[in-house]
A and B are shown apart, each in its own frame.
Chain A
């Protein structure tokens, strides 16, 4: 990267030291026209991805799935089965790739770790008083440390939306910095909960805030509020990571989560990644889907492409 990038990087690093500087910077970002962003997302959704391109997209999407269960009813048995599926999504077809990661609550991490040990599948844990984030900072950090100690190599934290919406950007920033520190070597995904931020201007600001504070990934949603990932929100976040890399040289990943259920949906997201940020992000290291039921639809479509016929849902595992 060039000298200007280096100086831009150090300038941006200074921002986190003052509430005023942060606010001035975030409010100085170009606005997002909601109608225009919605239209662009809808336009990209009309791309026709067929035959070889579809096969390529399905395999990539499978590798990008963060196979997720975040229920009060999760048990060791349930999460072990999910981890087994993550390793071999289609037992009938050894050429089927494994998923990107398994994502569970901190208490379930040890059971998943047993299954995934030595495999290339990552182990993600939500933390920081997921999903609301409404707990004292010390508890959020302890939550994070516990998940990492139990074997998680990716942490999905939630930002403090209350503080963000109240305009206390410094507080949000500091929490992310502290969580990043608590993560140690684990990768940090920062959940913006865009369904609660509502406006695209907020989404863009929160994206920059999370990246400035050191997040490795920005993620749309917890899946626990009515509005989860949408194409336009993901578009705004992709534009943010693109602009952030241009300004600082650091690449940040994006993870839409919640509500992505079909192969058709997943392919729309991949088209959007392709045409907004390009090939550099078309990799499980830089783009993930937070999903559970999506995987089986991907597997069904994959089988349809390879065999020419649809198999019934009974031919795909339910974990």
Chain B
């Protein structure tokens, strides 16, 4: 019998979208000085969701000033236990409003509701809860008897996990006693603006959190502003390098979390069915818009055929479509520009001689869509094995020995994450020692937890977010 799942859409009515949004500066929503604006669209339908203010240099100035005042007068002097109360309050409100936030995240970003509901939002709340716990225990974090905050943090975040990246940035900054000016990505600003409403609801003192929306120029104005003490950026390696150059020679402290081209390494003794799940989760989770995505599958040649057959069978089960349908596994590509890049690199892959395969799948007519794709017969010399595609495209390579696996896995300018699949504990430890990657997952992939530090080697950036280590980026140590 053919078992067809009927549509199971999550209701949009929980989200109360305004036609336009201002900037969140000094505790209230204000119009930008020069009145500029842009729109945010639903990538699944290309429908305009809202008009959003574009912050210019004057607006950035106001926001940094508000953050400075709040830092000096309120947040900096406030005892840690009182800062904790605000953070706990924010965490609880996020939990209470999680359905609303999840639906809005899926609308603005294109990710499936099951991911925003079951992964993003629980992690967002967990991050605030976790760092709330640190706020009054900083003397015990291992950074001296009385570690001091830095001051005003300028934070620029990407569009792939809009609210989660906001949480990774804001929660530790606030716990350590800093104030922030955050710029969300121009294609996904809406949940950050809803978060601003949550700050109001939590009675967070004015100026502690400021949200300035805009594109690259806004971000540049923010990170180059002389009044900021700390710059934190998550995004592409190209922009990260530009930021590192602009910050060089200043007193600003910098952390960067950039691109990746992670190897997911499958040995012949791996639990094959679970490894295949891990491969799928590694590259098709969040449409592959994940900096630590397992975009290179390194599979031992002796089991390559078997693993690929299982992988293809599993990929045929992926449900691509309406992000708000509760049964959707793969949603929409976030923007036309990103779709164009994924298409371009995929065409290069095919032109360079790799074999391209996608399961039969019907894509919606409107919106930005790309079918889950794998390339086999890929070598280290192919561009699709070297460049970050940031989409649902997997490059499959083979290896013969553990040493060759390490060599190939490390043969990349990036070093954010890696995965190992084997039944042998000793091999996991041997490999983890040799992989130059900030995170190594063993028999799992894309697992995140607020207590665990995350960050890169080489061109994947520097500094760590999450855990006790994540506090260091926001303390004067």
Which residue numbers of A lie inside 8 Å of B, CB to CB? Answer: 30-33, 35-37, 39-40, 46-54, 56-57, 60, 239, 270-271, 274-275, 279, 282-283
Contacts and interface: CB of A to CB of B under 8 A. Distances in A.
Contact of B6 (A32, A36, A52, A60): A52
A50 B8 contact: yes
A31 B272 CA distance: 7
Contacts of B114: 46
Interface in B1-25: 1-8
Nearest to A236: B273
B257 to A, nearest CB: 26
A36 B277 contact: yes
Given A57-B3, A282-B3, 14 more contacts: A31-B269, A31-B270, A35-B444, A36-B274, A36-B277, A48-B5, A50-B6, A50-B7, A51-B6, A52-B4, A53-B6, A56-B3, A56-B4, A239-B273
Please list the 8 inter-chain residue pairs (A to B) with the smallest Cβ-Cβ separation, ordered nearest first.
A36-B274, A48-B8, A48-B326, A33-B271, A33-B274, A53-B6, A282-B1, A30-B272
Contacts of A39: 277
A2 B5 CA distance: 33
B317 A275 contact: yes
Contact of A30 (B3, B7, B270): B270
9 contacts: A31-B271, A36-B444, A37-B273, A40-B274, A46-B118, A53-B4, A53-B6, A60-B1, A282-B3
Q: Select the residue from B7, B118, B274, B443 with max chain A CB neighbours within 10 A.
A: B274
A302 to B, nearest CB: 16
A245 to B, nearest CB: 12
Nearest to B445: A36
Chain A at the B interface: SS class: helix
B294 interface: no
A31 B423 contact: yes
Given A31-B423, A46-B114, A47-B327, A36 B443 contact: yes
A33 B5 CA distance: 29
A56 B274 CA distance: 30
B3 A32 contact: no
B1 A283 contact: yes
B331 interface: no
Contacts of A275: 317
A40 B277 contact: yes
Interface residues of B, number: 24
B443 A33 contact: yes
A31 B270 CA distance: 7
Interface string B263-287: 0000001111110011000000000
Contacts of A48: 5, 8, 326-327
Interface of B: 1-8, 114, 118, 269-274, 277-278, 317, 326-327, 423, 443-444
Nearest to A235: B273
B6 A30 contact: no
B273 A279 contact: no
Given A40-B277, A275-B317, A32 B271 contact: yes
A235 to B, nearest CB: 8
B3 A274 contact: yes
A274 B2 CA distance: 8
Contacts of B317: 275
B278 A36 contact: yes
A30 B327 contact: no
B322 to A, nearest CB: 12
Given A46-B118, A47-B327, A48-B326, A36 B271 contact: yes
Contact of A32 (B5, B273, B326): B273
Nearest to B5: A53
A262 to B, nearest CB: 19
Contacts of B444: 35-36
A52 B4 CA distance: 9
A229 B6 CA distance: 27
Contacts of B8: 48-50
Given A48-B326, A53-B6, A30 B1 contact: no
Contacts of A31: 269-271, 423
A40 B1 CA distance: 23
Contacts of A36: 271, 273-274, 277-278, 443-444
A60 B2 CA distance: 11
Contacts of B269: 30-31
Given A35-B444, A36-B444, A40-B277, A49 B271 contact: no
Nearest to A267: B3
Given A37-B274, A40-B274, A47-B327, A270 B423 contact: no
Contacts of B118: 46
B3 A53 contact: yes
Contacts of A50: 6-8
Chain B CB within 10 Å, residue with most, of A33, A35, A40: A33
Contacts of B443: 33, 35-36
A35 B278 CA distance: 12
A281 to B, nearest CB: 9
A270 B271 CA distance: 24
Contacts of B271: 30-33, 36
Contacts of B326: 46-48
A279 B2 contact: yes
Nearest to A29: B272
A216 B443 CA distance: 33
Contacts of A37: 273-274
A57 B273 CA distance: 26
